């Protein structure tokens, strides 16, 4: 199939009055950190849309427990996730340049390469399942002044969020997303996951990235959703000028630790699940009035 046919249906969006230059996508490079439930689907959708370069990082191998979600197959159990994604997506779209890195993204040895990748890519995706790595990627992208999409699912598997972070323009993860502190402080990974929730998060994250990369449509700062009550919230996330990552002040290590504790006390140690469930209750309360 030639490239005209492959992308015909994407280009047809212009027939409906949307001025989107799909050719430009082949010039774009993205970095996807974590190719689990969310990251693998984001990678597949961007490959199918004709992204120029995919850089993928993950340390994990495919396990049977991953098979309730999309993408991975039973015969791939035991294989490195990054290698499976690279192999499959090279077949899906040979026009995409795919680089894979099977490594711990937070390791000292990889730090130089990570900086290089974030700098050379047009957009980074944080599709991680633990707080320390999220905080690390947030600090890196803010320090390097590079946009990134942060994604997360709640531990119940019934909610999640998508947040496009534009350093020093809107809130970074530490301004808002530290709401996770209560439940993921020790780097625990998720305990429940629904393929539908994961696919919703991946789809919204991909759509936001296409709008950002090709400059069309409107992008909300933050989308949170609670699948149980079917509540979707769009939230403006103004930057916290006192944020220890993106704020104007320079903080010492001790001050940063105390700032983290402060955020925890503001959110009363509540997890994202609890906060999103509260939003659902609030919506029902308003409807009942
Ligand atoms: Zn911040």
CATH number of the CATH domain containing 257: 3.40.50.720
- The count of structural domains within the chain is 1
- pLDDT confidence of 272, banded at 50, 70, 90? very low
The whole-angstrom separation of Cα 210 and Cα 217 is 10
pTM: predicted TM-score of the whole model, two decimal places: 0.83
Average pLDDT of the chain is 84
DSSP letter at 219 equals -
The whole-angstrom separation of Cα 185 and Cα 115 is 25
pLDDT per residue over 135-159, tens digit each? 899 999 999 999 999 998 888 888 8
Classify 104 as helix, strand or coil. Answer: coil
Active site residue 190: yes
How far is ligand 1, taken at its centre, from the CA of residue 81, in Å?
31
How far is ligand 1, taken at its centre, from the CA of residue 233, in Å?
20
Find the mean pLDDT for residues 86-95. 97
The whole-angstrom separation of Cα 63 and Cα 59 is 12
Find the mean pLDDT for residues 63-79. 93
Q: Are 47 and 93 in contact (CB under 8 A)?
A: yes
Taking alpha carbons only, the member of 69, 47, 66 closest to residue 56 is 47
The whole-angstrom separation of Cα 280 and Cα 161 is 14
pLDDT at 36: 94
How far is ligand 1, taken at its centre, from the CA of residue 1, in Å?
46
pLDDT at 228: 86
How far is ligand 1, taken at its centre, from the CA of residue 243, in Å?
5
In angstroms, the Cα distances linking 77 to 42, 60, 74, 123, 249 are 20, 11, 6, 30, 47
Classify 55 as helix, strand or coil. Answer: strand
Q: Are 271 and 180 in contact (CB under 8 A)?
A: yes
Taking alpha carbons only, the member of 197, 158, 161, 193 closest to residue 177 is 161
> Quick check: 181 pLDDT over 50?
no
> Quick check: 179 pLDDT over 50?
no
> Quick check: 262 pLDDT over 50?
yes
pLDDT per residue over 8-30, tens digit each? 888 888 888 888 888 999 999 99
In the block, residue with structure tokens 């944080």: 126
pLDDT at 285: 58
Of the candidates 106, 190, 243, 246, the residue annotated as catalytic is: 190
pLDDT at 237: 76
How far is ligand 1, taken at its centre, from the CA of residue 239, in Å?
6
Strand order in the sheet with 222-226: 97-101, 53-57, 29-33, 123-126, 148-153, 159-165, 222-226, 231-235
Find the mean pLDDT for residues 66-75. 93
How far is ligand 1, taken at its centre, from the CA of residue 250, in Å?
12
Segments forming the whole domain that contains residue 145: 3-288
- Higher-confidence residue of 246 and 31: namely 31
How far is ligand 1, taken at its centre, from the CA of residue 203, in Å?
25
pLDDT at 93: 96
- pLDDT confidence of 221, banded at 50, 70, 90? confident
pLDDT at 187: 45
The whole-angstrom separation of Cα 103 and Cα 114 is 11
């Amino acid at each position: 199939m030639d490239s005209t046919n492959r992308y015909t249906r994407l280009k047809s969006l212009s027939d409906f009055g949307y001025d989107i230059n799909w050719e430009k996508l082949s010039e774009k490079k993205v970095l996807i950190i974590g190719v689990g439930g969310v990251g693998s689907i984001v990678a597949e959708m961007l490959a199918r849309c004709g992204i120029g370069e995919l850089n993928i990082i993950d340390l994990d191998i495919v396990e049977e427990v991953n098979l309730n979600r999309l993408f991975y197959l039973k015969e791939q159990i035991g294989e490195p996730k990054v290698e499976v994604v690279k192999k499959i997506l090279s077949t899906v779209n040979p026009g995409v340049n795919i680089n894979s890195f099977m490594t711990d993204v937070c390791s000292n040895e990889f730090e130089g390469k990570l900086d290089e990748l974030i700098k050379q890519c047009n957009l980074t995706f944080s599709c991680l399942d633990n707080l320390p790595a999220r905080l690390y990627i947030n600090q890196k992208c803010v320090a390097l002044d590079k946009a990134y999409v942060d994604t997360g699912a709640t531990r119940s598997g019934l909610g999640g969020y998508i947040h496009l972070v534009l350093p020093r323009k809107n809130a970074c993860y530490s301004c808002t997303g530290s709401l996770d502190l209560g439940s993921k402080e020790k780097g625990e990974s998720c305990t429940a996951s629904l393929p539908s929730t994961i696919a919703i998060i991946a789809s919204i994250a991909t759509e936001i990235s296409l709008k950002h990369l090709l400059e069309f449509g409107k992008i909300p700062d933050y989308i949170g959703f609670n699948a149980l009550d079917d509540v979707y919230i769009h939230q403006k996330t103004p930057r916290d000028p006192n944020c220890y990552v993106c704020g104007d002040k320079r903080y010492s290590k001790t001050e940063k630790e105390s700032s983290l504790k402060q955020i925890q006390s503001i959110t009363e140690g509540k997890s994202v699940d609890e906060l999103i469930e509260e939003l659902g209750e609030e919506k029902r309360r308003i409807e009942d009035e």
